Structure 1
Amino acid sequence: MSTVHTRPATLWEAGNRRAPAVLRLAAALLITAAVLDLLLSDRLGLFFDLVFVTLSVGLALAVRPSDFFPVGVFPPLAMLGVVVLLAISRPEAVARATDGVVQATVSGLSSHAIGPGPGVRRLPGPARRPTAVGGDPPALTVLSASG
């Protein structure tokens, strides 16, 4: 008689919620975070960035593994949506007040793209390259076809 040993679910497999419901909640929370951040200051700032990163990780942990694709696509599109809405209604919240919608959108995206940076820097593997003892990145070797 053989017994089947099942492995425990990993952290990424433990989610059991459906993506549509989670994404609707995430959109509402993200817009709420943007409004709260604008109430606290006149620009979209660190509070929004921290909520955005935390929400992105929480989404991935909450959904079923079969729903990872919509959850992976949601954060960049949600960031674009929030920045475009602010570029239309309050460009000074993401750029200079005199910038047009397109310029304000580009400025807003470029200034808030750094928000996920601290999380990416902590990732293991190819996302983070080791540094030399002095803190400088290791030198890159360029291979040429001539030898």
Structure 2
Amino acid sequence: MRHAEAFWEVGREPGRQVVSLGVAVTLTAVSVDVLLVGRLTLFFDLCFVVMCLGLAALVRRRDFYMVALLPPLLMTTVFCFVALVDRSTVADPRDSLLQAVVSGVATHGVALFVGYALCLGWLAWRLHREGEAGMVGELERELGQSAG
């Protein structure tokens, strides 16, 4: 008899929805941090790390690649947006756009590294846990759907 799996063991959400959730959570963390403190702080870093781990837990297996690429792209894109809107939240207001983005990513690089490492580690753990039997079953379902 097989036990029921917890939500973090087998994600079932489509990749596009998980990416949208990641963008929404990241922008919410930026907004809250900027409204409360006026700049990005450790609060943003912690939210980003937790968000990376959460997305890896939620995504379905066939969309792993979307989440595996998301953390660096998301952080860079968000810092581009923030630098366009209010450069002083991520860098010196006199910095160029590129300088502000690089400064923001460098300042929050530890959060990016930890979040990305946890995300990739969780995805790898899920791949290992599900094993080859799960992969064979998934391929059979996919091939059966496309043939019919």
User: TM-score, with normalisation over the residues of structure 1?
Assistant: 0.70
Q: Which runs of 5+ in 2 are unaligned?
A: 122-148
Name 2:70's counterpart in structure 1.
74
State the Cα distance separating 1:7 from its structure 2 match: 9.3
Deviation track 1:90-122 (CA, whole Å, cap 9, x = no partner) reads 11111111111111111011001111456659x
Q: How does 1:29-44 map to 2 (within 5 A)?
A: 29-44=25-40
Secondary structure in structure 1 of the residue aligned to 2:110 = coil
Higher helix proportion, which one?
Answer: 2
Change (3 A) 1:118 1:82: closer
Give 1:101's match in structure 2, choosing from 97, 114, 118. 97
Stretches of 4+ aligned residues off by more than 2 angstroms? 5-13, 116-121
Which runs of 5 or more residues in structure 1 are unaligned?
125-147
Aligned residues: 118
Q: Deviations over 1:21-54 (max 9, x none)?
A: 1211221111111010001112111111111110
Select the structure with the greater relative contact order (CA < 8 A; seq sep ≥ 6). 2
What TM-score, normalized to structure 2? 0.69
Alignment of 1:106-121 (within 5 A): 106-117=102-113
In structure 2, relative to structure 1, the CA distance for the partners of 1:91 and 1:73 (3 Å cut) is same
Shift of 1:79: 0.3
Find the counterpart in structure 1 of residue 17 from structure 2. 21
**Structural RMSD (CA):** 2.6
Identity percentage of aligned residues:
37
